[in-house]
Structure 1
Amino acid sequence: MTTPTIRLAGHSVSRLGYGTMQLPGPGVWGPPADRDAAIGVMRAALDHGVTHIDTADFYGPAVANEVLREALHPYPENLLIATKVGVVRGPDRSWLPAASPSQLVNQVHDNLRRLGLDRLDLVYLRVGGDGLLQPDSTPFEESWGTLAELIDKGDIGHLGLSGITPEHLPRAAAIAPVAAVQNRFNLFDRSGAPALAACRAHGAEPVPFVPYFPLGTAEQRQDPRLTAIAQRIQAATAQVALAWLLAHHPSILPIPGTSHRTHLEQNLAAAEVAARLTDADMTELDALAHP
């Protein structure tokens, strides 16, 4: 099974990637329920042509990166591993901003050590622009500049932004190039649309846009309107949700995650579903956005 490719952070990667957020236990906390199965699904992703894996050391915390290393190290040369910094987990499992220079340097080094890498291909700075994280007290330019210095030191290859408002993009680009943007955006939740529009309008080429939570929730996928469309085109609702993202714009790279091999294979088949979507299907799907 193959998926279309796109340039991301100096690599040619599969448009459908894999996110590690579902590998740890409930609430993205603690070890996987079945570590062998978690390792197996990651290896299966590569077997099916995935060359873009999105992770973070605060998933678990540390669990996702440790499982990733156990499953795939030494990594194939064509694999791009993207990670995120700017967040730590509290003892109550909360998600806390942590973007001071010293915190960011420590997080980058933690990622390097746990992943077993000498350099991180792509590092996103997670900021509080999309309502899911409180902004850190450190000025944005100071945080971004700290990561730019780590490019010069060889710890990082490329930088991306996550959870931004459109205004963050030019502010960041004035200091260092932005290789990708990762915001919440899916068939039901279009809150990331302004950031996507900013990426499409930025420079001669669109900035690659990596939507997180690309499937929406299981409850949202039970929307009878989506169910009817899925039945008509003979696809699962999750496949239709991913296919809509792929058909929405060629610069979009979804990163669905799962701990089940069956779901992995189903998700990757969404590229074939996208090729079948008609203009009428897209019009119907465009109308599914929830307030």
Structure 2
Amino acid sequence: MHFTGIDVSKNKFDVCWLRDATTNKRKTKVFKNKQAGHEALAEWLLNNIKAAPENIVIILEPTGVYHESLMYLLHDKGFKVYLVNTGNAKKYAEAINLTHKTDKSDACMLASYGYAQQSNLQLWLPEAVEVRELKALLRRLDALESDYQRELNRLDSSEFSLSSERVLASLKEMIRALKSEIEKLKKDIDNHINGHPKLKNNRKLLESIPGIGSVLSRELTYLFAAKTFKNAKQVGAYSGLIPKFHESGKLKGRTTLSKTGPSRLRAKLYMAAVVAGRYNKSVMQQKETLLKRGKTMMQVIGANMRKLMQICFGVVKNQTEYQPQVT
């Protein structure tokens, strides 16, 4: 197998082919992060490595959306693509004492990391077409909702500062337009989910859980369709809900959430956990137990968020509606 690391940015990506792991011989090149650059990379790899695509391993880190189209093209052409955890790659870079951090050195580090961890890597596979479409729709909805909230904030500050009538009218018109488009997009997302039996069934199962409404069920329907989790602990880790303990010297230890993974999901999950703490029997029982132990309300809500995600994982994995388990 031949290992290649790619460090992706918005306008370009740096490539490093690890020619010989024992002598650390490398070959590097830079390409534009466009369709033509993606095609040129595939050709460059085949011409230089002189191996079949299935024998060429590509290692990347997630970089927002800038790596996605490149990954899809490389996968379609038969290359083995691996999307590695950024935290693990960073620890490896520290372990090998990578002192000069550049795009080129990051690409070479990824190639070396892939070679060293090849037995632990998990092959990346693209989502199904309907899942990819759902992802794009949810991203657009999230962007519009952020714009809507910003305009509401601007309107509030403008009214407070007695801004001009023209500015107020402009803000109100923009808010109406955003609100209308948000509602249309929500209907399109719901119709998309309902048009695919597996997505529709998973959403139905998720909404059988008290505390999970239409907003969070959209996000979780995509999450469980796009990601493969072996157990509930992995779901908690991905969502940034694993507790971390902090203690130093005389500072009394305290527990906080790791907060890795998508913050957008945690924000929606927070509100769901608050509601579940009032209406979901399993979550209510945990809440009462933790409060009796002296936990703060924020610690309780964090635990309830994790509990709720575990329940969601369970109903989707077992394909059964929610049944409260109260002792």
TM bucket by the smaller chain? under 0.3
Structure index of larger Rg: 2
The structure where helix makes up a greater share of residues is 2
Structure possessing the higher relative contact order (Cα contacts under 8 Å, 6 or more residues apart): 1
Q: Provide the TM-score with structure 1 as the length reference.
A: 0.26
TM score, norm. by length of structure 2: 0.24
